[in-house]
Amino acid sequence: MFELAPGVYAETGFYNSNTGFIVTTDGVICFDTPMIPNEARAWRATIDEASGGAPIRYVIITDHHRGHCLGSQWLSDVVIAHEVAWKHMRNYSDNFKQRVRDSFKKQPEIRAQFTDLRIVVPTITFQDKLTVVRGNRVVRVIHVKGHTPATSIIWLPKERVLFAGDIVWLDQHPFMTQANSREWLEALRLIQKLDPKYIIPGHGPICSVRELDYLIEYLTFLRQRTRNLFDAGLTKQETASLLTPEMRPWFPIPSKRSSKIESQIRSGIGRVYDEFRREMEQQEAEAEAKVIEAAPAAEENG
């Protein structure tokens, strides 16, 4: 565990994603949660020790994905998230819980920990921004989208510490199955403007704004190449087949995960392709609307 400023802690060693918390004079605020139950319980013990047993007032989650939200049941029943995250999480049924368990079929010791999984649905939501003032601390939660429509970042302006969630990936291909690449780049540029001293990514080591350049370059290249192939008339499948080999070398890929990561890259290319297709369809619809609007005037003049 790292103490990045007095009373501000981050942990990058958990199974699925990074997490952290801040100790205020009126309790603790947690940022994302460990996914594995035993790790979440251990994290709770760590929080209690660091805070002197202070109550956990809130858990703020950066999106609705299981790696960020499943540990809340061992921390607090008061969860803050974007409204879109709430809409997803309120529908996490028994089927969702079973999928979580089934994802660990090859790790039965972990699978067994999810027997009593309880989903803590957010009870406080927001749309654009939310400022939480507790004791002597100010926490700003900013909706940025990009990674998912629900993705937010958590900014501690006084301490200059930023919990970025899955907007920042440093050592692996970003997960883009629900992404919008234009919004993602806008989010990264916002982080650069905030100029935090420390950034805690959703995955990987703690970093500074300097390390964002490579991810920006990755997303910019992906958009440019996808646009070129889209403009050339290639289908989404053809674009993914041609571009995937170009994207693979950007980050190291463990041999055991090669096929999964390749599928992930193809999915990201498909998302970007769909962005350009929607833009084209919107432009065509707007042009058609202008023609229809101009038609009556032309008839009157005739």
Map tokens 């103490």 to a residue. 3
DSSP letter (8 states) at residue 248 = G
Map tokens 């507790």 to a residue. 134
Query: What's the whole-number average pLDDT of the chain?
Result: 92
pLDDT of residue 301: 61
Query: Which are the contacts of 84, defined by CB distance < 8 A and separation ≥ 6?
Result: 64, 148, 149, 150
- The tokens for 212 are 């964002």
Burial class (CB within 10 angstroms; exposed 0-12, middle 13-18, buried 19+) of 162: buried
Identity at 188, one-letter amino acid code = L
pLDDT of residue 16: 81
Q: Is the pLDDT of residue 283 over 90?
A: no
CA 62 → CA 41, 140, 161, 218, distances in Å?
20, 12, 15, 22
Q: How confident is the model at residue 256 (pLDDT cuts 50, 70, 90)?
A: confident
Q: Is the pLDDT of residue 5 over 60?
A: yes
Q: Which residues of 185-215 are buried (b: 16+ CB within 10 A; e: fewer)?
A: bebbeebeebebebbbbbbbebbebebbeeb
Q: How confident is the model at residue 255 (pLDDT cuts 50, 70, 90)?
A: confident
pLDDT of residue 282: 82
Residue 299 CA to residue 295 CA, distance in Å, equals 6
6-31 pLDDT per residue, tens? 999 999 999 888 999 999 999 999 99
Give span(s): CATH 3.60.15.10, the chain.
2-207
- How many residues appear in the chain? 302
Q: How confident is the model at residue 257 (pLDDT cuts 50, 70, 90)?
A: confident
CATH (residue range 2-207): 3.60.15.10
Q: Is the pLDDT of residue 298 over 60?
A: no
